[in-house]
Amino acid sequence: METDEAKKTGRPQIITRLREILEPWVSDADLLDDITERTNMIAELGLDSIGILQVVIGAEKTFGISISDRELDSDTFAMMGNFVSLVQKKIYENN
């Protein structure tokens, strides 16, 4: 059953909040304007391992979720939509 908070946190809202989390870790802030679910967070945004770690920590704090190491692999960051799906799944599990 969806809570009111879960209903307010749809994919577009998650992407908007992830843009804010990504901003300090992306060398060209203009790239953030063009983020879609198909954006490759590593190849297109240039995230390195520290940036990825910071994005995960930021998402955990922002959305009140916990992401385990085993849930993170190269596919998770191959497309923004994959990471959004993981975050959304975790939000629904917590609500």
Q: What single string gives the DSSP state of each residue in 50-69?
A: HHHHHHHHHHHHHHT----G
What does the pLDDT read at residue 8? 64
Q: How far apart are CA 18 and CA 29, in angstroms?
A: 13
- Classified by CATH at the fold level, domain 4-94 comes out as 1.10.1200
pLDDT tens sequence for the chain (95 residues): 344 454 467 999 999 999 999 999 998 989 999 999 999 999 999 999 999 999 999 999 999 999 999 999 889 988 999 999 999 999 998 87
Count helices and strands in the chain by DSSP H and E runs: 5, 0
| Interatomic CA distance for residues 18 and 63, integer angstroms | 10
Instruction: Delimit the domains of the chain by residue range.
Output: 4-94
pTM over cut 0.85: yes
